[in-house]
Amino acid sequence: MAFIQDPITLGLVRDDYPAKIARNASEPTDWEQMSKETCVPLGFDDLFDWVKLQELPFSPDPSRKWEVVHVPHSDTFDENSLSPSPQTSLRRMTIRIYGVIGNLNLMDFGNWDRTEAGAAKAMQFLSLRAGPFQLQFSAQQAALADLRKMVFRLLGEHEPNTNYNPDEMFFHRRAFNKIDGFGFQQPLTSALDSDEARLAAMASRWTPTVSPPYGRKLGDGSIKKTNPAVFNRGDFVDVTAAIEIASIGRAAKDRKTNVHFTFTRVVRLLTAYDLNEILGNSIPLSALIPDIQDERMDFEAGSDEDCAT
């Protein structure tokens, strides 16, 4: 997972937040000692030496054939050995983004309308807003824009003039995976009045995606695994994001490509109430909800950086 650098302070955006609210107890604090992969380069041209596109030959979805992975560097090779090293495997690029939650739907089936036709468009989503941290927010927005521009350059395609909302960063992921490449849809009957029955009826064509890990930071800085239901508008969160490339159309002249950011992990660093108490800012508070039973989890040992096949 890579951290975004601040072009003004020349440090990490993570460390620009007051009272160390963006840090947790299990990650390095001295960014100058981090590996090259751990920090997003500041220069646009340097991005092309940092990551590259990797084709996914066995992707079950024909619209998603590419993934952004880290470029192996010379310091990961042993020049005296021709044996393969596990350190040289291609790893999916993921980045850390911080912000205040705006809109969200993190539940298992997202905004699915309970029809098979709707499975193709169903998504889980999360939007982040600046809150009281406009400078940090702007630096992250600029980094995401450069990464999106880089992908279109690598694809040899012109970046479309998409009007992104300047007041938010939007992340979404599919609620269902397509099993075949034909998109066959079988109408659901009115008798299928439960989610279990609906899922069984389309199980040969669509399957629910595996939920990413969710966590919350404790007072000692450690992270506990938690339930997505604990997240609310106004919470200050740490989102691990990856680039997703969706292309529709075989011929270059007919191809339409969308480059967006999906989330692979979400950690609540502070509730809206706690953030308001610490900073004394006017941040909308969401309704208080009871704690949900959770368990300790080591996120840093996860595998969301591994290149998907």
Mind giving me the DSSP string for 175-187?
Answer: SEEESSSS----P
The answer to whether the CB of 98 falls within 8 A of the CB of 238 is yes
The pLDDT, as a whole number, for residue 204 is 62
Instruction: Give the chain's domains with CATH numbers.
Output: 3-76+87-177+211-301 (2.40.50.140)
Chain centre to alpha carbon of residue 221 = 22
As given in the structure block, the two tokens for residue 27 are: 């990650």
Residue 259, phi-psi category: left (phi > 0), alpha (psi -120 to 50), beta (remainder): beta
115 has pLDDT over 50 = yes
Higher pLDDT pick, 110 / 18:
18
231-263 pLDDT tens trace: 999 999 999 999 999 887 666 666 788 899 999
pLDDT at 30: 72
Helix (H, G, I), strand (E, B) or coil at 190: coil
pLDDT in tens, 147-178: 999 999 999 888 887 778 889 999 999 888 77
Is the entire prediction scored with pTM above 0.95?
no
235: Cβ–Cβ under 8 A, 6 or more apart, which residues? 100, 101, 268, 269, 270, 271, 272, 275, 286
Q: Mean pLDDT, to the nearest integer, of 271-298?
A: 62
Average pLDDT of the chain to the nearest whole number: 79
